[in-house]
Structure 1
Amino acid sequence: MGVVDSSCDDGKINLQIDWYNNVENYTCFHNRSLYLPQKTVHPIHSVEHIPQEYSASHKCMNESIEYDETIPTFGTHRPLWAVYGEFTFLPRQRWIHNLEHGAVVMLYHPCANPNEISMLRRIVKKCLYRHVITPLNLLSPTRPLALVTWGHRLEMSKLAPEVAVDFIRRHALKGPEKTHRNGQYDYLIKDQAQVISDLDDKTLCPSFPYVDTGIQMKK
């Protein structure tokens, strides 16, 4: 787990198999008005059933990895996981490994409202050390913001801070491989994560009040 191997995955070579270093991955080329937050569009919490005996496989950088879901919550991934923090762009094949270790991944469409992105980013960075933040241009105009944990995803049009915090408290750190060890993949990282409570994230979102929310859950 997490062994740098130039014959398989060293986080440096053949990265184009996961993405082609295209600015479209992290730049808005659409009409931003299509991605504006809508008060009438409620958050959706989706749960994917993961069999208890499931064990995610690793694939080396000579093999492609595809996903059935736009926002996968588990699956095959690369041997090296990402350094915790915010990236200009991080492909799904990397951050799924972080989910397996209990991380929260924040996703946003490049055309999403900058204020909404900033507010969600602030919450995630203040809630826990084990987080990854990256744009994903596959998110829909209806819900261009998302939080992902192992087996769970929360998609949003407009940020409801109490919903985001509640989701993190309920579902972070639930991956099958519980380790705070940092990753090795750091291509295009721009801000490394800071320790909030401790390396194990013993207290999630310590600066936010406790609010029990009821949001629509889709299985």
Structure 2
Amino acid sequence: MLKNIILLGFTILGTYGAPPDNDNWGGKWFPHSPSEPDLNPKINITGKSHLHDPSHGIVMGVKDPSCDDGKVSLNTDWYMDPVNYTCYNDRSLYLPKSTVHPIHSVEHIPEEYSALHKCMNESIEYSERIPTFGTHRPLWAIYGEYTFLPKQRWLHNLEHGAVAMLYHPCAERNQVNALKALVKSCLYRHVITPYDQLTMERPLALVTWGHRLEMSKVSDEVVVGFIKSHALKGPEKVSRNGQYDLALSSSAKIVSTVDDIKLCPNYMK
């Protein structure tokens, strides 16, 4: 039931007076006051002036081997290690539990925030176990299901309004398949990947820009409600497909339209 979702809303941005001008936003993270020095590292665009973007540092969606073409230096984000998508634990520890309720956590991202893009010569780390925003790669992922997709890619999809479905490699197969079926039937703009940072208690998750839903078991009502409420809410309304396709196992199918004009159209409740 929707009423069982535990809301853990927390405000990251404090009261700092006038917001910074979006074109001059230089930090990769917040909070910090516009009057405080920004000590976050800046993207080095020396020799890449054609890739400069005043908001993101590096322009999105441009394949360039000197920065990001979706082919070069990919081990910066992922060593192609099967550990990321293989279950090595006792699967019984990840079985669904009716007493473990879903948790919906919210990060309040200021409108002025613009996530930076980093080339493949720079690593990207996140303070959250399941990030919902932050610095990411210039090329976003083709929509669909992956053997494994690094978070540095799917975060860019979230910025465009997508839903990322994450599941622990040890999660119960029927639950994983049920969640996949729901997501695939709700919208075109989705990516699906194993993610070994999920917990035993809640080995399933949906993530949108600023929102994460962690679950022990699939509830159609909860999943559809989350997607209808939080999908397509990213700061950049971009429906065109991505360029990164490493380990793509199946491409997403259009559900209503490429713009997902109607979410979860077959869910009548």
Instruction: Confirm whether residue 146 of structure 1 aligns to residue 208 of structure 2.
Output: no
Superposition pairs for residues 135-214 of structure 1, below 5 Å?
Answer: 135-210=194-269
Shift of 1:19: 1.1
Cα separation, 2, equivalents of 1:138 and 1:128: 25
Deviation digits for residues 97-127 of structure 1 (CA, Å, limit 9, x no counterpart): 0000000000000000000000000000000
SS at match of 1:111: coil
Instruction: Confirm whether residue 108 of structure 1 aligns to residue 167 of structure 2.
Output: yes
SS at match of 1:118: helix
Q: Which runs of 5+ in 2 are unaligned?
A: 1-59
Instruction: Give the corresponding residue for 2:125.
Output: 66
Instruction: Give the corresponding residue for 1:123.
Output: 182
Deviation digits for residues 53-111 of structure 1 (CA, Å, limit 9, x no counterpart): 00000000000000011110000000000000000000000000000000000000000
Deviation digits for residues 149-198 of structure 1 (CA, Å, limit 9, x no counterpart): 00000000011111000000000000011011100000000010000000
Moved over 4 A (4+): none
Instruction: Give the corresponding residue for 2:11.
Output: none
Cα separation, 2, equivalents of 1:54 and 1:69: 17
Shift of 1:206: 0.2
Q: Which of 57, 64, 89 is residue 116 of structure 2 equivalent to?
A: 57
Cα separation, 2, equivalents of 1:97 and 1:209: 31
The sequence identity of aligned pairs, in percent, is 69
Instruction: Give the corresponding residue for 2:88.
Output: 29
One-letter amino acid of the counterpart of residue 2, structure 1: G
One-letter amino acid of the counterpart of residue 217, structure 2: K
SS at match of 1:167: helix
Instruction: Give the corresponding residue for 1:215.
Output: none
Cα separation, 2, equivalents of 1:43 and 1:149: 15
Cα separation, 2, equivalents of 1:158 and 1:167: 14
Shift of 1:30: 0.5
SS at match of 2:105: strand
Shift of 1:52: 1.3
Whichever of the two has the greater Rg, that structure is 2
Superposition pairs for residues 6-25 of structure 1, below 5 Å?
Answer: 6-25=65-84
Shift of 1:209: 2.1
One-letter amino acid of the counterpart of residue 71, structure 1: I
SS at match of 1:198: coil
Cα separation, 1, equivalents of 2:205 and 2:220: 12
Cα separation, 1, equivalents of 2:238 and 2:116: 17
Cα separation, 1, equivalents of 2:68 and 2:259: 26
Cα separation, 2, equivalents of 1:70 and 1:132: 18
Shift of 1:49: 1.2
The alignment of Structure 1 onto Structure 2 pairs a total of residues equal to 210
Deviation digits for residues 123-158 of structure 1 (CA, Å, limit 9, x no counterpart): 000000000000001100010000000000000001
Cα separation, 1, equivalents of 2:108 and 2:81: 33
Structure scoring higher RCO (CA < 8 A, sep ≥ 6) equals 1
Instruction: Give me the TM-score of the superposition, normalised by structure 1.
Output: 0.95
Cα separation, 2, equivalents of 1:63 and 1:196: 36
